[in-house]
């Protein structure tokens, strides 16, 4: 069973804050039909708060007066935050959408374990190559990417391919 990822706050105006309502949205894996995550449901008042914060940031924030180097530093911090949580993000995204993906790791066995947990059609370890005849979307809610659309192999197929390259 996949570990439940649960977030209770919304990111509004540069800080995490409690939602104004109590409702939440479940993230369901179409592959297993199990709940794999839960996030707060932003109600209309939450959206209004976010829009107002964005408007304030655009009009009164430092962005128009920020140098290119300062903006690069901000984007670098975002990149680093994503990198720090890459395994969690990859698991949630591939579990919900089932797209193809790749993982590079010093521990090949760990990479293959991650692949086995992901509900994807094609997942590569230490390589990225697209086999156009293989299952590209394969699983989940990947829409028209699923086997190149309805003209593909058919909705009943659940093929998987694991590619392990050399380092």
Q: Domain coordinates of the chain in residue numbers?
A: 5-63, 92-164
Predicted pLDDT at 147 = 46
Give 10-residue mean pLDDT values along the chain (167 residues): 81 92 85 82 94 90 86 90 81 60 76 70 63 51 48 54 71
Predicted pLDDT at 40 = 92
Give helix then strand counts, H and E, for the chain: 4, 8
Reported pTM: 0.46
Residue 63: C-alpha distances to residues 4, 47, 57, 141 (Å)? 36, 22, 8, 36
Predicted pLDDT at 31 = 63
The structure tokens 């180097």 sit at: 69
Kindly report the number of other CB atoms within 10 A of residue 122's CB atom: 23
Predicted pLDDT at 104 = 73
The set of residues, in sequence order, having a beta carbon less than 8 Å from that of 68 and lying 6+ positions away, is none
Predicted pLDDT at 50 = 93
């Amino acid at each position: 069973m996949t570990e439940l990822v649960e977030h209770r706050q919304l990111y509004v105006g540069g800080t995490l804050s409690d939602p104004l309502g109590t409702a939440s949205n479940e993230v369901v894996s179409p592959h297993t039909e199990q709940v794999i995550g839960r996030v707060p449901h932003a109600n209309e008042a939450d959206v209004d708060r976010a829009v107002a914060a964005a408007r304030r940031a655009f009009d009164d924030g430092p962005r128009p007066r920020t140098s290119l180097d300062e903006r690069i530093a901000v984007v670098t911090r975002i990149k680093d935050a994503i990198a720090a949580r890459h395994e969690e993000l990859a698991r949630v995204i591939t579990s919900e959408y089932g797209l193809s993906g790749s993982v590079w790791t010093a521990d090949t066995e760990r990479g293959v374990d991650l692949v086995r947990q992901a509900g994807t059609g094609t997942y590569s370890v230490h390589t990225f190559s697209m086999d156009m005849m293989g299952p590209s979307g394969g699983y989940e809610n990947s829409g028209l990417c699923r086997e190149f659309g309805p003209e593909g192999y058919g909705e009943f197929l659940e093929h998987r391919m694991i590619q392990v390259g050399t380092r």
